Structures are given as C-alpha cells and as structure tokens.
Amino acid sequence: MLFKDITIINEDFTTTRNVCVGIREGKIAHIGGFTEGFGEEFDGRGYLLAPAFCSAHSHTAMTLLRGMGSDLPLDRWLNEAIFPEEAKLTPKAIYNGTLAGCAEMLKYGTVSCNDMYFMGKAMADAYIDAKIKANISVAVLCFDDSAFIDMPKYNECLMLEEYLKDNDKVRLDYAVHAEYTNTPKSAATVAEFAASRNAGLHIHVSETKSEHEDCISRHGMTPVKFFFRAGGFDTRTIAAHCVWCTDEDYSLMGEKGVFMASCPTSNLKLGSGIPDYKRALERNVQVCIGTDGVASNNNLNMVKEAKLMALLTKGYNLDPSLCKSRDALIAATRTAWLSQGRQNSGLIKVGYDADLAVYDINTVNTKKARDGVDTLIYACDGEAYMTLCNGEVLYKNGEYYTIDIEKLEFEIT
Ligand SMILES: [Zn+2]
C-alpha cells in the first residue's frame, strides 16, 4: 500500500506535507517521493498519517461496565460498583467486552494497550481475533501468605505463556493489582517471576491520596518504595497513575527506568488528583498515557488523554511553554509502545512496524491548522479515518474488517 501526498508525523515529531509512505510486509518500507510497486494507492491529500496510539494502562473488557458507579470516590466505586459486577463476568463476557474495546480503540487510532484484567485466555482471544496488539496481564490480588507459585493465577499464567509463545502481537506481562490489594510476599514473588520471564510488571501506584498515605501507615514507606523493595523495578515496569508520588519516588522511578502510565481523565473523574507531569519528567520518569478502563473515563479516546496531559501541565504550572503537543503525542505513542518492550513501533520510520492511523484534517474543525501534531492533539476529535496494525487495514471510515460489529452488539446488549 502507498499513501500518496499525505502529511506525516516524522520520527522527531515534526510534520512534513506531501510525502509518500509505502508499506510492505507489515513494515514501513519507504518514506519520500512517489514510487511504484506498492500496490494500492491512497490519495492522502487532506489527511494526516500518524503513529498509532498505544494505551499504556487499560482494563479493556470494562466496556461492559461503562459509566458504572459514576461520581463515587475510588474506594466506594471499586467496592460497591465495580468488584461486585466483575464477579459476575464470564469468559464469554470478558471476550466480548475486550472485543468491543478493540473496536473502540480502532475507531480512535489505537492498536495496542497494556491490558490488566482477568480470564487471560478470553482477553487474548479477543485481541487475536481483532488482529491488534496487546500486552495482557492478569491482576494478582492476595491478602494471605501465599507466594505466586501457590496461586491459581500462577497456573493460569503458565497456560497463557504456552498459549502465546509464538504470538508476537499479543504478549504476556504480569500484574500485581496494587499495594493495598497485596502482601509484600505476593508482590515480591510475582515481580521475581516476571523478571525471570523477561516480561513486564504492571501495577497501580499512588492513585489516590488515601492509598498513598495508608501504605505509609502500613509499611512505613510509599507505594513506589514498597514495589521497589519487592523487586518490582527489576524488570520493565508499568506503574499506572503515580498521582501522589514524592520527588524521591519519581527520582527512583527515573533511575530504574519505570514507565509512569498516566490516565488523566480517570484521575480527574474519580477525584483522585492532578498528575504532575513536570515533576515526573524533570526526574527522568518515562511518562506515557493510557485511558484506564471505560468505567472511569468513559471512553478510549487517546487524543483526549494527550490533550489533557498538555493542558493540565500548562495550567497546573502556569506555564504555556510546558508539555508541547509533541510531548503529549510522544507520551501517547512512542513512549507507550516502549512500555510494552516494542522498540519497532510508535514512529513513522523505515523498517518499523506499520502501526498507523490516518486522520481527516480537511474538516471544519481542523482546516487552516498550521502544524500536524498541534492539529491532532488540539483540534481533532480523536476519530481516525483509517487504522492499520502491521500494515493491515483493520478499520476504515466506520467499517471494521476483523470485527463483526452487528453480532458483537447483539451479544453484549
Ligand atoms: Zn487501572
């Protein structure tokens, strides 16, 4: 496939107009002038070609719980609204909910996510059928003296590891739900196992003030220190939220290469606080952006998250020069892809996976915009015209090629 005369976001996140981009065997094979031999041609005039988004923190099957428990504080939202509903979910529901999330992600130009949930086989099957990418993990919650090896989830993970061993698109990471739902032993043994598998560890960290302070009362240390002591940062770590981290926490995360998967809409909607991107970035934390589950968002629109990151940073620090649209886009694309250990995604660069999204920028709300990245982050509504994973068009102009939307809607209503 060849995109002709399209505006592209370069690998340094500047934009160039009237470029031709050729895709071959799932990879970006050409960037430059017109050339033949790529088969189907797409007239890119009026369109923007961008790296596809990767949501760094999600619970995708929560599409089934959209908006549930709205306006409750996090502890009541979890215990009164979410946990009882989740207890009723069957593998089929998890599959359908995840598939519905895949459809929504494709609509918003997203082709991968770090999905922490449960019933991993049903999660994996939805991504496999939708043909998008994901790093999935099943969340460990443990209040007794068990080590990971004693838990049913250990056997589930071994089964998933075998099931996904030849699958590069869907990868298995490991998850400790949070400090407040685990013991030091469960956290340490899951972290050790993740490191032994060279896999990622996905955790919730300092999402709310009370979570952060309760951890200090319980363990005499912050959640970041709790996970550090448990060996949690000895592997690629995705720490969701990190709203209440101290300067020392951020410094430690920066030193250890921890990814902070921030979810600004969810933090605002649940009244958890305002993520302090400036402080985190100053301490070399690898900040990336995610949507969280739709029960606290209530959709999977990554443009909205990136825009919020930029606006919150400027407004919170009274400085419009901070967090440029380009910085927010990098957090929502390249850094998020790196949080999955996928070095070959998140940039429009020859040899990289063709994980791409195309946006119509010839609309009433985007016309006359000067810069492609600014247009995408501030003016677009986030809906992609076309979304590709490994060079394969999975969504175009409202149509899905791997998901039977009518059947899915019938099954989830
Ligand atoms: Zn979460």
pLDDT in tens, 330-381: 999 999 999 999 999 999 999 999 999 999 999 999 887 778 999 999 999 9
Task: Spell out the domains of the chain, with CATH numbers in brackets.
Answer: 2-51+346-397 (2.30.40.10), 53-339 (3.20.20.140)
Residue with tokens 């004693």: 150
If you average pLDDT over every residue of the chain, what do you get?
96
**Residue 75, pLDDT score:** 85
Expressed in angstroms and rounded, the spacing between residue 115 Cα and the centre of ligand 1 is 9
**Residue 69, pLDDT score:** 87
C-alpha 7/C-alpha 150 separation (Å) is 54
Mean local confidence (pLDDT), 204-218? 97
pLDDT in tens, 168-206: 999 999 999 999 999 999 999 999 999 999 999 999 999
- Give residue 413's pLDDT band: very low, low, confident or very high (50, 70, 90): confident
C-alpha 191/C-alpha 174 separation (Å) is 8
Expressed in angstroms and rounded, the spacing between residue 393 Cα and the centre of ligand 1 is 29
**Residue 340, pLDDT score:** 98
Mean local confidence (pLDDT), 211-216? 97
C-alpha 353/C-alpha 350 separation (Å) is 9
Expressed in angstroms and rounded, the spacing between residue 374 Cα and the centre of ligand 1 is 28
Residues above pLDDT 90, as percent of the chain = 94
**Residue 166, pLDDT score:** 96
Q: Is pLDDT of 301 > 90?
A: yes
**Residue 15, pLDDT score:** 96
Expressed in angstroms and rounded, the spacing between residue 179 Cα and the centre of ligand 1 is 13
C-alpha 30/C-alpha 258 separation (Å) is 33
Expressed in angstroms and rounded, the spacing between residue 57 Cα and the centre of ligand 1 is 6
Expressed in angstroms and rounded, the spacing between residue 202 Cα and the centre of ligand 1 is 10
Expressed in angstroms and rounded, the spacing between residue 2 Cα and the centre of ligand 1 is 38
**Residue 197, pLDDT score:** 96
Within a 10 A sphere around the Cβ of 25, how many other Cβ atoms? 8
Expressed in angstroms and rounded, the spacing between residue 74 Cα and the centre of ligand 1 is 11
**Residue 298, pLDDT score:** 92
**Residue 369, pLDDT score:** 72
Expressed in angstroms and rounded, the spacing between residue 178 Cα and the centre of ligand 1 is 9
- Give residue 63's pLDDT band: very low, low, confident or very high (50, 70, 90): very high
Expressed in angstroms and rounded, the spacing between residue 118 Cα and the centre of ligand 1 is 12
- Give residue 277's pLDDT band: very low, low, confident or very high (50, 70, 90): very high
**Residue 202, pLDDT score:** 98
C-alpha 6/C-alpha 222 separation (Å) is 48
| Residue-by-residue DSSP string for 109-146 | TEEEEEEEES-HHHHHHHHHHHT--EEEEEEE---SS-
**Residue 332, pLDDT score:** 98
**Residue 70, pLDDT score:** 85
Global pTM exceeds 0.85: yes
SS3 286: strand
Long-range CB pairs of 250-256, under 8 A, 24+ apart, other chains included: 250/279, 250/280, 250/282, 250/283, 250/285, 251/283, 252/224, 252/225, 252/228, 253/224, 253/280, 253/283, 253/285, 254/280, 254/283, 254/284, 254/285, 255/284, 256/228
SS3 170: strand
Residues above pLDDT 70, as percent of the chain = 100
Mean local confidence (pLDDT), 256-285? 96
